Structure 1
């Protein structure tokens, strides 16, 4: 019996929406179809602006959520056309898992009472998405974990364990989106899976590249590779209290914002842009490799997914920083780098529909396992 779910993801890179149709009917998941749609420059700028307090933001956020649902719906309809070509009807798809676009992530409790519970906010319009697609939609995956005292992130380690876990060796999985997050998958099933946000992934590199070259990202890391490391700047970037915080922990553009970067760059205003790009790339690499050394030192391999897996210079720097590990792309393990997170949210939707926990308390710090997400029927 087929067990079809759609997963939709738009991450902190703000580059667009990725979608997958996944068949979970066998022990090894099968990608039936994939699709993506880039964000327009105007929409991307609006989402970026909504990451910080801004004018009339409630109204603008609602409209942005509707616009995101429209993008999601176009991705879904592309997936449905591909599915129909393979003889799969829309009625066979159980649900869509739609993550939404994170614009605030403040999971820390601010006081002892319930009014002080932290929060996480993803722009979305799941009711509209259900209306536009005629399919059940599961959304708002993170808030239940936060309500249970967790970080609400990362949520993908449980999925990583099922897809990339190995009985022969411990494995680490690094997602390089706008923010980088790490999953530690122990060989021993009695040991807990760990996961947390390392710090910046592509977000600061992409922003610097866009500003100075007009390109949305540094293709292959070629521009960074043309520059030189600035040790004083690297030291300043790494001098951020987040990196010394114990796990569980999570972060986002709330901390590693363009304003944060501008302040760090103030004493380096006369440096060459390509040297700063080189240093930002090394910053991401050092934050990630330090995380692996601290919590995944027994790992034999680092599997990299997300857009950063295509940055050859960054991948080389990760390998240089972890000489005892094999650094590889998730493509070499059967799942393309840009489809991993979307597939994870298809899996999370399935967990919600079947009323199974989607979080790992060892990762998020929640009080226990929780069914994540809210259902919006077609």
Structure 2
């Protein structure tokens, strides 16, 4: 049996074309993005054909239990242990469903690339008992995924970069170069998920020339403010309709923009540990002192995301490289008010969404982890050291047979 599994791995490694599933759950915790793709070749010759995509929402009970893990005050070791295996089953179920949607069988699939669910991310370099380290933790046990599906699973990508003293994020720039790089145009690929991050792809860029970092909050603050104001009747601002009803409080917005994160030079990454519930507590408290109306607060935190993104371009991106187009992806690309605010902040730049150029915003990150898994199995380094701050290139991803 052991020899058969190793022979199967060898067979998959020797293929020039593979069927791969990508699984991703981001900081917004709105569900698992599952994609099934056909990937031809690897490295700079990679070509991807999407065969099926779906977002499988978490049951609300599981979603709320995940949120409790983000806060050390509400989490515990036994909860993390249990939820790691529970989410492994949930991710495996998503893989089964996307296989069925594509009209395939598990035997037709070569690989699963799973990001898992980040529950804690500590990107700052610290000294502890003589050791230098950063740390990150994703759950959704890949051994369970491999067991339930019978498919070789590649997972735990971030930790390998962090072991090389990188920040473990952003990870999508590698796949973005392979899939979106242009010979004639310089693109800024702006993702707005729970956290906002940008990848700069200069025209004709090599891997060593791309650049990326986390701008700051994406949907994270907006979503939680909406959830608190509506008493959980709404978990996000659909199409930006609530923000559209309010007026931006410029005084309060300027106060938010004084956050020290925006003055940190890239490479940099952030997460829910910084811009999560404790941060929103302070936002709500400040808004109350200002006497702000509910819709005005939603409009203001929406403008905060737009302005913090634009600020990062003006301070860090444009002095480094002129940009022909800004392509927005992620859940924030569907927030029309947010996109309007962003276009206003970057009025002399072309701002488009992924859909406008013929790609799916929803599927982008799941595809990225399918591509990263394909690179792992091909034996290629798949981090970007100048983006994450890692000491050198590494092959990210643990292979589970």
TM-score, normalised by the number of residues in structure 2: 0.89
Alpha-carbon distance in structure 2 between the residues aligned to 1:174 and 1:82: 29
Determine the structure 1 residue equivalent to 2:32.
17
Deviation of 1:102 after TM superposition, in Å, equals 0.8
Give the structure 1 partner of residue 227 of structure 2: 210
Per-residue deviation, residues 204-242 of structure 1 (Å, max 9, x unmatched): 101111122211110110100110111122122111111
For 1:312, which of 336, 348, 351 is the aligned residue?
336
What are the superposed Cα offsets for residues 96-139 of structure 1, whole Å, 9 maximum, x if unpaired? Answer: 11111111110222117763411011122111111111111111
| Contact 2:25/2:117 (8 A) holds in 1 | yes
Q: Where does residue 397 of structure 2 map in the other structure?
A: 373
Instruction: Judge which range, 91-100 or 276-285, deviates more.
Output: 91-100
Q: Distance in 1 between matches of 2:304 and 2:249?
A: 10
For 1:17-96, what aligned pairs fall within 5 Å after superposition?
17-25=32-40, 27-54=46-73, 57-83=76-102, 85=103, 88-96=104-112
Match of 1:2 in 2: 17
Alignment of 1:1-378 (within 5 A): 2-25=17-40, 27-54=46-73, 57-83=76-102, 85=103, 88-111=104-127, 115-189=131-205, 192-213=209-230, 214-269=233-288, 270-297=291-318, 298-377=322-401
What displacement does 1:4 show?
A: 1.3
Superposition deviation, residue 185 in structure 1: 0.6
Decide whether the 8 Å contact of 1:12 with 1:178 is kept in 2: yes
Any stretches of 5+ residues in structure 1 without a counterpart? none
Q: Distance in 2 between matches of 1:94 and 1:42?
A: 32
Q: Deviations over 1:273-298 (max 9, x none)?
A: 11010010000001111222233321
Aligned residues between the structures? 374
Once structures 1 and 2 are overlaid, which stretch shifts more, 163-172 or 247-256? 163-172
Q: How far apart are the structure 1 equivalents of 2:351 and 2:384?
A: 25
Query: In structure 2, how many angstroms separate the alpha carbons of the residues matched to 1:54 and 1:184?
Result: 37
Runs of 4+ in structure 1 over 6 Å off: none
RMSD across aligned positions (CA): 1.7
Deviations 1:276-321 (A, max 9, x none): 1001000000111122223332111111111111111111111111
Cα distance in 2 between the residues matched to 1:304 and 1:287? 15
Query: Does the 8 Å CA contact 1:236/1:264 hold for their aligned counterparts?
Result: no
CA deviations 1:146-181 (Å, max 9, x no partner) are 111111000001111122211111100011111111
- Separation in 1, partners of 2:234, 2:332: 15
Q: Determine if contact 1:154/1:196 at 8 Å carries over to the other structure.
A: yes
C-alpha distance in 1, partners of 2:47/2:376? 20
Q: Which moved more, 1:364-373 or 1:60-69?
A: 60-69
Deviation at 1:25, TM superposition (A): 1.5
Write the distance in 2 (CA, Å) between the matches of 1:248 and 1:29. 28
Q: Where do 5+ consecutive residues of structure 2 fail to align? A: 1-15
